[in-house]
Amino acid sequence: MRIYECADYSAMSRQAANIISAQVILEPQCVLGLATGSTPIGTYEQLVEWYKKGDLSFAGVRSVNLDEYRGLSAEHDQSYRYFMQTHLFDHVDIRRENTNVPNGMAEDPAAECARYDQIIRDLGGIDLQLLGMGHNGHIGFNEPTDYFPLGTHLVDLTQSTIEANKRFFASEADVPRQALTMGVGSIMSAKSVLVVVSGADKAAIVRSAFCGPITPQVPASILQLHPHVTLVGDRAALTEIRKEGVAVCG
């Protein structure tokens, strides 16, 4: 695992965008696994800036998003399809038909999950998977549990995740209680994984995920077994992991 320590959120976002842009430049038809949430926003903003400068093109890129809330349409302003359109897709030259997000309105969630797994297989797998990480160690919406789910599946969100996401909704009651999420098996099948973390409130879970035991109670801990993981964090988020003597790049 390679770890980059950045001075602040802006520097973290730029470093992560550098890694993604290198992937796109070296392999213009690559498959990007994309994440939502507050942490990747700066990374997407940097990619959009470089696109507008003419330094980057997404014309051949295919993408698969990690997850989507169940019960939210693509037009809902808190859906993850809407998030991706707002923060990245609408501002670059990626083709709409090359972008994939689970359908949160699917009447049969199991069939939708199977369909999504088939999309990933048909694309030949994911070349670079971008991940954030929740305070409880969830990646995508793979919450702490007794096993590592393999494929895309329907999940009940934990109270801590609902609490973390309620700031985006009018009230806690409006936060969806379920989501469709790519499984840990799909994430681990990506050729490379890029994890972005920011803030002192993530320091403890970063240490648990990358220096603690591998356990489904900390879903991100499975990434210790992936051969090509890059962790990019600001100084505050990496405070605890540095105490373990882990080598970091400045």
Is 136 among the catalytic positions? yes
Angle at 205 (CA atoms; ends 200, 210), nearest 5 degrees: 120
Choosing from 143, 153, 165, 234, the catalytic residue is: 143
Is 122 among the catalytic positions? no
pLDDT computed for residue 170 by the predictor: 87
pLDDT digits (tens, 9 = 90+) for 159-199: 888 888 888 888 888 899 999 999 999 999 999 999 999 99
Marked catalytic residue, from 87, 103, 117, 138: 138
In the residue annotation, 76 being an active-site residue is answered as: no
Tell me which of 65, 136, 142, 165 is the catalytic residue: 136
Tokens for 63? 């993408």
Number of helical H runs and strand E runs in the chain: 8, 10
CA distance 71 to 131: 23
27 labelled catalytic: no
The C-alpha atoms of residue 189 and residue 25 are separated, in whole angstroms, by 22
Domain ranges of the chain: 10-133+145-193
Tell me the β-bridge partners of 158.
Answer: none
DSSP-derived secondary structure letter, 124:
T
Q: What pLDDT score does 178 carry?
A: 94
| pLDDT for 250 | 66
**pLDDT tens digits for range 202-212:** 999 999 999 99
Per-residue confidence of the chain (250 residues) as pLDDT tens digits?
A: 999 999 999 999 999 999 999 999 999 999 999 999 999 999 999 999 999 999 999 999 999 999 999 999 999 999 999 999 999 999 999 999 999 999 999 999 999 999 999 999 999 999 999 999 999 999 999 999 999 999 999 999 888 888 888 888 888 888 999 999 999 999 999 999 999 999 999 999 999 999 999 999 999 999 999 999 999 999 999 999 988 878 777 6
Measured CA to CA, the distance from residue 145 to residue 141 in angstroms comes to 11
**What CA–CA distance (Å, rounded) separates 66 from 68?**
7
- What is the per-residue pLDDT for 248? 77
CB 226 within 8 A of CB 188: yes
- In whole angstroms, how far apart are CA 173 and each of 35, 146, 165? 24, 27, 11
CATH, range 10-133+145-193: 3.40.50.1360
Which pLDDT value is given to residue 247? 73
Of the listed 5, 65, 67, 153, which one is catalytic? 67
